Chain A
Amino acid sequence: MKDPRASKFKQVNHSVTKIDALQLALGKDSYVGDLAPKDALIVKMLWSPHAHARIVSLDVTAAEKMPGVKAVLWHGNVPRNVHCTAGQGFPEPSPYDTFMFDNKVRFVGDRVAAVAAETEEQAVAALAAIKVKYEVLKPVFTLDEAMAPGAPVIHDEPEAHVPIPIVYEPKKNLVAHVNCEAGSFEGGMKAADFTFDETYETPYAQHCPIEPYTSMAQIASSGRIIITTSTQVPFHCRRIVARTLGVPVQKIRVIKPRIGGGFGCKQEILLEDVVAMFAVRTGRPCLWRLDREETFRTGRTRHPFRIRLRTGVKKDGTITAIALECINNTGAYGGHGLTVVSCSGGKTLPLYHCENILFDGKSYYTNLPVGGAYRGFGATQAFFAIESLMDHMAEAIGMDPVKFRQLNHIRPGEGSPIFAALGEGREGTPMTVGSNSLAECIVQGAEAAGWKNRADWRGKTGRYRRGLGMCCLMQGSSIPDIDMGAASIKINEDGSFNLLVGATDLGTGSDTVLAQIAAEELETTTDKMIVYSSDTDMTPFDVGAYASSTTYLSGEAVRKAAADAKRQILATGAEMLGLKPEDVHCEDAHVLNEDGSKKVSYSDIANYSLYQKNQYQIIGTASHITKKSPPPFAAHYAEVEVDTLTGFVKVLNYVSTIDCGTAINPTLCEGQTEGGTLNGISYALTEQYLFENGKMMNASFADYHIYSMRDRPPVKAILVPSYEETGPFGAKSVSEICINGPAPAIGNAIYNATGARLNEFPFTPDKVLAAIRAVKK
């Protein structure tokens, strides 16, 4: 149901060509690696071969003397400043438990020492000359091992602490604990006709951006440190590098050029402290690029979860009680541990009406690769549990799974106690849902997927059996009251504008989307915008690209900045026309009077204001913080074919509907939905971390399977518009929610094909076959 305002949009809600598409398609210098000076030193890191060990001795003297080596860094020659690598607002809701280099290693792939040399070959040779003696400690590889009384303490350093008053008990390997209850869960269970108690497990995964982590630092002639890096969080990067190096923020400039994907793994300050330190020590530009194997092993990952979900439902379909208990494995360092587990409840539980909701979220350390921010951020994991159990409940009461959800999902204008109870590390923000076209998403998706032809599994025969499954989803848009974005916009002689935003385009096209918003507000065209983003010296502040914020938060800052500039344009235009500002308006890059008989172009106004009279720079600036986090909504449908002899599952068709409010750029919204969905599909079916003694063994695309053009099933994205009053031109967000759907939708489809329920994924053939064999007719 399209809002009437949407039909008047001239720039937004149009699929304007992405501003940087041409330069990228031509292969022009765009990414960090393309911009490195020829004389940049190459940085290489020595990684820990042990999952848990103390470094008893470390001798770099031989390495330092090797040909081409300019500097070696290790815990003995760098500042010991405890910090957190997570790209979050300050003070971070995460433990400060990381040092640039420590005298302890906590996972296979932890930092030991680093070399900067003239060539990669020389750097690698020098690594081999570093002599390390370890005292191997007992490792912790599972949640049960981490939680066991007397478990090895992974973070026993005295400096480890949390900067805000949140639960943190490193002696118990506990990184976070957050809980809340609305109503009475026990009471709700008593009122139920059917109760359920299921445990689910979700796996490790890596984001696999095609551009691996890459960072470069150089010393400017002024002596300042210039970091050019593939990051989602330039401003957090600047602050955290300043802290880690023990230098003032003023000394550092962070620039984000084009980057080759992030999906959350680059919401982390993982390389920049080391390259900056090397630049300072050597005076030379320093480039560090993780190779693909290092990206898998030492980069950030998706938090594995163990989820216990208990629910109660009445025969009439009322959900009387929900208890969601989530425990995540945050790996060797605690960044994002709390916020991911908070979101697993905060961004999922409001979806369905229930008066009795209990949530408990915990995060534990293990000696395994580190969990970070990954698209979906806890909601992905929790929705697997919730949406699998929803189907289970529907079947118990004999109701169609779609109908069961239609009965129970949140409606426009409704709220949930969870919104206030669960934020990201702090309490949340109470909210009623404004825009919500979930009901329409469900119907359109069902139609596109052929839901009415769905048959029960009990009648299915033959080796290859088909099934149809679905799920409903929500997410959030920005972190209210905590995150801030800002923008400024100034006019040029030809009626073009420089739009300066802190907001971070990771390939998502936010530069384009923000330009469209500015152009719409300013009554001009998107091609008049020159966008420059994510440079801590040149652009106003923005927290960066995460929490599905850029359109909803940064977009509103841009709109307000454009409105600010527009006021100045109107004033000057009026002055030029000899009229009062209230008697003129903007239209098609002109200021004109009511009947259009008098008008002056933006270009005229610019020339006048820059050169001719009462000269000043027309420039608008604004900041924005959001007051709510309006959820996007989605309904996903998956059709699968299961080979009941081998357990192989093939996705035949997938429909992703999405309510993102106004789609500022419909093609880009589809692109986000299609890409995130396919990522979710391989997460559900083929991606996994295989470990041996804590070492990730399948660290290449040959062994860690993501889909190619030959594997991909058809994915249909359907935009179902609504209008979010609090968002710029009605927009909410689009980028995370779509990855949440495939695991539960495919799981439910496998059930519909075979009667087999799986409580963990990836749905590898061995697990599927075992589950099929366990089915009792």
Chain B
Amino acid sequence: MKAATNSVSFTLNGEKKTFATSPDEKLLDLLRREGYRGTKYGCGQGTCGACTVIMDGRAVYACLLYAMQAEGRKVRTIESAGTFEKPNEFQKELIDAGAVQCGYCIPGIVMSATALMETEKDFSDEIAREYMDGNLCRCTGYEKIWIALRRTLDRKAAADAKPAAEKTTKRSSSKGAK
């Protein structure tokens, strides 16, 4: 690694971390250097999405962001999404739908979808497509990725709607809905 002249501190997957870095090091290079290799290099130009991570709730291209821009922020990578024992729901749907072919685009797609689910309440096709428009895939034609996404979003929308529905049908009580 080249001489590190600076350091940067940010919360990474829930843990506060401090890393040595240099002003022109990109976040992607720092992450991969520090062992977070689930975030991939696809173009280095902010066009393909293989390097998508979430910073302060927004999906961003780690290959474009300077590591120093992450100072004091909350960064999440694919490593935070799921494990062998507990893949997250969207990861499970992707696997079940046959949406993982070469898999290179998948971590980025999972992160963009995560940002969508955490930010929006309206999961219409139009909004979902806008959130996913920065993740390129050359293998799948997106068909099965979309099916897996739609299933996950529809289930989440139904789950989010439930407490409200239960509230109106339940008699008013101190308990209330979750």
- Seen from chain A, the residues whose Cβ lies within 8 Å of a Cβ on chain B are 15, 17-18, 20-22, 24-31, 33-34, 119, 121-122, 207-212, 258-261, 263, 289, 291-293, 506-509, 667-668, 670-671, 674-679, 700-702, 706-710, 712, 715, 717
- Residues of chain B with a CB closer than 8 A to A33's CB: 32, 37, 40-41
The answer, among B101, B106, B107, B145, for a CB contact under 8 Å with A709, is: B145
What is the bound-complex CA distance between A15 and B41, given in angstroms? Answer: 30
Q: Please state if A667 and B40 are interface contacts (CB–CB under 8 Å).
A: no
In whole angstroms, what is the CA distance A674 to B144 when docked?
9
Closest B residue to A291 by beta carbon equals B44
Instruction: Check B42 against A210 for contact (C-beta < 8 Å).
Output: yes
Residues in B whose Cβ lies below 8 Å from that of A28? 38
Write the chain A residue with the least CB distance to B146.
A709
The 8 Å CB contact of B43, one of A122, A506, A700, is A700
- Whether B78 and A26, one on each chain, are in contact in the complex, defined by CB atoms closer than 8 angstroms, is yes
Give the residue of A20, A210, A509 whose beta carbon is less than 8 angstroms from that of B105: A210
Pair B102/A260 contact, Cβ less than 8 Å: yes
Q: For residue A210, which residues in chain B have a CB less than 8 angstroms away from its CB?
A: 40, 42, 48, 50, 102, 104-105, 136-138
Contact between B95 and A671, CB atoms less than 8 A apart: no
Which residue of chain A has its CB nearest to the CB of B130? A710
Contact with A along B101-143 (1 / 0, CB 8 A): 1111111001000000000000000000110111111111111
**Interface: B91 (CB within 8 A):** yes
Contacts of A710 in B (CB 8 A): 129-130, 132-133
Contact with A along B62-85 (1 / 0, CB 8 A): 000000000000000111011110
B152 at the interface (CB under 8 A from A): no
User: Given A119-B2, A700-B47: A20 and B142 within 8 A (CB)?
Assistant: no
Report yes or no: B40 in contact with A260, Cβ–Cβ below 8 A.
Answer: yes
Q: How far is the CA of A207 from the CA of B136 in the complex (A)?
A: 13
Docked pose: A230 CA to B96 CA in angstroms: 26
Q: List 16 A-B contacts (CB under 8 A).
A: A25-B95, A25-B106, A27-B39, A27-B81, A33-B40, A121-B2, A208-B136, A210-B42, A210-B105, A211-B102, A212-B43, A263-B138, A667-B144, A671-B140, A701-B47, A710-B129
Instruction: Say whether, besides A22-B95, A258-B102, A710-B132, A701 and B43 are in contact (CB < 8 Å).
Output: yes
B95 engages A18 (CB within 8 Å): yes
Contact partners of A15 in chain B: CB under 8 A:
98
CA distance in complex: A508, B140 (Å): 10
A88-B41 Cα distance, complex, nearest whole Å: 29
Contact A26–B98 (Cβ < 8 Å):
no
Contacts A22-B95, A715-B141 given; indicate if A292 touches B44 (C-beta within 8 A).
yes
* B87 at interface by CB-CB < 8 Å: yes
How many interface contacts (CB-CB < 8 Å) are there between A and B? 188
B100 touches A24 (CB 8 A): yes
Tell yes or no: B18 within 8 A of A by CB: no
How long is the Cα–Cα vector from A706 to B94 in the complex, in angstroms? Answer: 22
Q: Is the CB of B87 within 8 A of A31?
A: no
Instruction: Kindly state the interface size class of chain B when it binds its partner.
Output: 35 or more
- In the complex, chain B residues whose CB is within 8 Å of the CB of A715: 141, 143
Produce 1/0 per residue, B41-60, CB < 8 A to A: 11111011010000000000
Q: How far does the Cβ of B83 sit from chain A's closest Cβ, in whole Å? A: 7
Bound CA span A30–B37, Å? 9
Q: For residue B98, which residue of chain A has the nearest CB?
A: A667
Contacts of A207 in B (CB 8 A): 138
Q: For residue A673, which residue of chain B has the nearest CB? A: B141
A31 x B38 contact (CB < 8 A): no
Give the docked Cα–Cα distance between A707 and B140 (Å): 11
B residues near A17, Cβ cutoff 8 Å: 95-96
Contact B91 A507 (CB under 8 A): no
B115 to chain A, nearest CB (A): 14
Residue contact B102 to A708, C-beta cutoff 8 Å: no
Complex contacts, B48 vs chain A, CB 8 Å: 210, 292, 701
Q: Which of B41, B97, B107, B135 interacts with A27 by CB under 8 Å? A: B107
Q: How far is the CA of A710 from the CA of B102 in the complex (A)?
A: 21
B159 interface hit (Cβ, 8 Å): no
B1 CB-CB contact with A under 8 Å? yes
Cα–Cα, bound, A715→B104 (Å)? 22
Interface residues in B138-174 by Cβ distance below 8 A to A read 138-146
B6 → A minimal CB distance (Å): 15
**Which B residues lie within 8 Å of A122 (CB)?**
2
For B1-13 the 0/1 string (1 means CB < 8 A from A) is 1100000000000
Q: Are A507 and B102 in contact (CB under 8 A)?
A: yes
Cα-based distance from A131 to B142 in the complex (angstroms): 47
